[in-house]
Amino acid sequence: MDLRLPQDLPLRNQKVFLRCDFNVPLKDGCIQDPSRIHAVLPTIDYLIQHECSIILASHLGRPKSKFDSELSLKPIEIYLKSKGYDVQLDDFHDRNATRIKSQKLLKGQILLLENVRFYEGETKNDQFLGQFYASMAPFFINDAFGAAHRAHASVVSTLKYYEPNNIAAGFLMDKEIKGLNQILQPKKPLICIFGGSKIADKISLIKHFINRADHILIGGAMAYAFLKAQNISIGLSLIHEGSMEQAQEIINLIKSSSTQLHLPIDHIISPPEGSEVLASITDDVQIPTNQKALDIGPETIASYSEEIQKASTILWNGPMGWFEEPTYATGTLAIAEQIAERCQAGAYAVVGGGDSLAAINLAGVAGNISHMSTGGGASLEFLSGVKLPGLVNLIKA
């Protein structure tokens, strides 16, 4: 996939509509993790170096097409100002006033639009809203890989109002596609590690890698559906409605494939309700009827680590347990450390999903990971073989 990039456009001294993904975690109005902001700064810096003025657009959370002060991009404006950028947040009252502000921008200045999901029609891919966005700048750059799977107005319909050769991907978008393509065209052996709570969130992804991956390692709450489907006791462990049937479908597909499925062989379990006993390790794969599993056990860690250390390419999405609670973080952190170690030995690894990225940061090994994907759902769909609507117009003819 050969994307049109900023250097392919005559951008010097131009106005550029730049779609980013600043959907960062907030607490009491403060940014908890600015990684998604940092990821797009190379594109912003390139535009400023080329004397552009920038109309900067992003979503944040899921407001209901109206202003919501808790989902305002004000914290983004404050953060960018703290990094030395000449940025002004639009007040989101009058579209004509917004357009006039965009026309008055000087070289190097940034007009940060308010959360695009405040606009009626954004999530409906409204063409008139898309036309409004396009009216502010003759060039469009999409650096919001995390929104590339959404057919929304600031991602898709606005492109109808741009010259095809005035559209490009940003540097983050290019980095994401190149990184994920190394999983789709891997050096073997390929190991896929999937965790988290819902099989439904990843069933298309798992299916896509059957016969592509050499090994699939399962952890997190989704593992208990696989175990229950094989009549293994899971006690009080969490499984979602329909997940056992989905697990059985995957098990059946893998039986006739070249891929080997690995499930936990022991667990860290919570104490029985009302008991003062600390969390404990099961003797084997069976989980006591009055307890729940919340992490993979040491035998599973050892088994999974052995496979990881043989890998040339690794994909990890989803934690191995309730890693936010230190008692049940061992499995997830161990996987993070094993992947980092394997990368240092020459393997290529992609880590995606908010929880997995958080675990990598918690383990202190982010600097050793080949590619940390900011994409979330976009990464899952791209790796599942889905054509992303936000990418279609960014590819060179």
Asked if the structure places residue 397 within a domain, the reply is no
Is 279 found in the same domain as 353? Answer: yes
Which residues form the domain of 344?
178-383
User: Do residue 158 and residue 187 come from a single domain?
Assistant: no
| Domain-embedded: residue 1 | no
Looking at the structure, do residues 333 and 246 belong to the same domain, yes or no?
A: yes
Going by C-alpha positions, the residue among 167, 172, 72 that lies closest to residue 114 is: 72
Last residue of a domain, one of 171, 197, 215: 171
pLDDT for 91: 87
Nearest to 36 by CA among 176, 149, 151: 176
Q: Are 93 and 16 within one domain? A: yes
Q: Which residues of the chain have pLDDT under 70?
A: 274-277
What is the structure's pLDDT at 276?
A: 63
Residue 210 lies in a domain: yes
Residue showing tokens 């940092």: 38
* Number of domains observed in the structure of the chain: 2
Residue 277 and residue 295 in one domain: yes
Task: Report the distance separating Cα 159 and Cα 169, nearest Å.
Answer: 12
pLDDT at 339: 97
Q: How much is the pLDDT for 234?
A: 95
Q: Which residues are the active-site residues?
A: 36, 198, 354, 377
pLDDT in tens, 29-56: 899 888 889 999 999 999 999 999 999 9
Based on the domain organization, do 149 and 191 belong to the same domain? no
Give the strand pairing for 109-112 and 86-89: parallel
pLDDT of residue 275: 64
User: Is 393 part of a structural domain of the chain?
Assistant: no
Domain boundary among 112, 143, 171: 171
Q: Is residue 87 domain-resident?
A: yes
Q: Are 163 and 182 contained in the same domain?
A: no
d(CA 172, CA 394): 13
Instruction: Tell me if 389 is assigned to some domain.
Output: no
Residues 139 and 275 in one domain: no
- Supply the angle between the helices 35-49 and 74-82 in degrees, to the nearest 10: 60
On whether both 164 and 186 belong to a single domain, the answer is no
Residue 388 lies in a domain: no
Q: For position 274, what pLDDT does the model report?
A: 60
Same domain, 86 and 196: no
Domain endpoint, select from 113, 138, 171:
171
Q: Single out the residue of 184, 36, 63 nearest to residue 117, CA to CA.
A: 63
Give the pLDDT confidence of 59-106 residue by residue, as tens digits: 999 998 899 999 999 999 999 999 999 999 998 888 999 999 999 999
What's the pLDDT score for residue 142? 98
What integer pLDDT is reported at residue 377 of this predicted model?
86
Angle, vertex CA 395, rays to CA 118 and CA 36, nearest 5 = 45
Go through the chain and tell me how many residues it has: 397
Residue 218 lies in a domain: yes
* Residue whose pair of structure tokens reads 């190379």 in the numeric block: 42
- The arrangement of strands across the sheet holding 53-57 comes to 86-89, 109-112, 53-57, 15-19, 139-142, 167-169
pLDDT at 198: 87
CATH number for the domain including 52? 3.40.50.1260
- The structure's pTM equals 0.89
Task: Cis check for the bond before 189: say yes or no (omega within 30 of 0).
Answer: yes
Residue 119 and residue 201 in one domain: no
Task: Looking at the structure, tell me whether residues 317 and 259 fall in a common domain.
Answer: yes
